[in-house]
Structure 1
Amino acid sequence: MQRLKTRPQFQAALAGGTVSRTTHFVLHRLALSRPSDTPITALQTLGSVPSQEQALFGLVDVWLGAMVPKKWARRAVTRNAIKRQIYNVSERFVHRLPVAAHVVRLRSAFDRQHFISATSQPLKLAVRQELEQLFERAARPEVST
């Protein structure tokens, strides 16, 4: 699994669309095509201009980024703890996720009255359970009718 690092990578993945959501998180995905999926034109064989997707994501792999805005998690220790949980939980689902760029975004705050400490076990457990639901929904094969 590769990690998203640049702003254009995050923006491209966010533009890809929403795949799954829970109370506090949303998962965005931009499908990445394998080189064999696209027809080879004369220009591509000469190696002139790579597609924007190829320029942003050099490897065709599962990419993941985490967005935890200050608006929803004020303290840095909370943001960092949530990001660590995102990356740890995603490791369990990496083989079930499609080749794409994924961004997990925190979309609402955890109640500070209920979760007093940023590193409390109840907060870690709540975040982990929600992330497992999020990735489980995203990893399910789509049902075609």
Structure 2
Amino acid sequence: MKPIVQKADFERVLATPSRSRSAHFAVHHVSGGPCASRWQRLHTAESKLSTGDAHAGAQPVDDSARPAPEGCWLGSVVPKRHARRSVTRVLLKRQIRAAMARHADVLPPGLWVVRLRAPFAVAQFPSAASDALRQAARAELEQLFGRARRS
């Protein structure tokens, strides 16, 4: 499982209808891999350099230009308006990554984005990072990915 880092990938996935929803989360999926980064687009096209063919045999220093193997990429959207404290946002993002790791082998490959769409009740979960909140998020994400796998 790899992270989604490009804004264009988030926009492309979130433009699709949700694959599965729960009281607090929504899962979006697009098959295929991420968009090529700006560096890859600039350096894979024929470049018009004044040095002519001198650049043709050069190899990039990093391997970001290599096509990524087919697999799952994960992005999470946990906005401040639904989780005011950073402790809560971090807890939810960790739960999202852990749930995706547990289900990655049975989910279809592609880009996956999990979005927090409603806040957890402060009256029910007064602590920003309580065990009760962790267990509630985990249970809800398990159901969510279970439904996403079947659809």
Equivalent in the alignment of 2:18: 18
Structure with higher Rg: it is 2
Give distance in 2, aligned partners of 1:18 and 1:113: 28
1:70 aligns with 2:80: yes
Aligned partner (choices 126, 131, 134) of residue 141 of structure 2: 131
Equivalent in the alignment of 1:53: none
SS of 1:102's partner is strand
Give distance in 2, aligned partners of 1:17 and 1:107: 13
Give distance in 2, aligned partners of 1:118 and 1:96: 32
Aligned partner (choices 77, 98, 105) of residue 115 of structure 2: 105
Gaps of 5+ in 2: 34-43, 47-66
Amino acid in the other structure paired with 1:120: S
Give distance in 2, aligned partners of 1:7 and 1:90: 20
Equivalent in the alignment of 1:43: none
Give distance in 2, aligned partners of 1:119 and 1:130: 16
Shift in Å, 1:98: 0.5
Aligned structure 1 segments of 4 or more residues deviating by more than 4 angstroms: none
Per-residue CA deviation, residues 64-112 of structure 1 (Å, 9 max, x unaligned), is: 1110011100111110110000001111100111111010000000001
Shift in Å, 1:124: 0.4
Amino acid in the other structure paired with 1:123: L
SS of 1:86's partner is helix
Equivalent in the alignment of 2:29: 29
Gaps of 5+ in 1: 34-46, 50-57
Aligned partner (choices 100, 109, 125) of residue 90 of structure 1: 100
Amino acid in the other structure paired with 1:137: R
Number of residues paired by the alignment?
120
Aligned partner (choices 109, 112, 128) of residue 118 of structure 1: 128
Taking only the aligned residue pairs, the percentage that are identical comes to: 42
Shift in Å, 1:48: 5.8
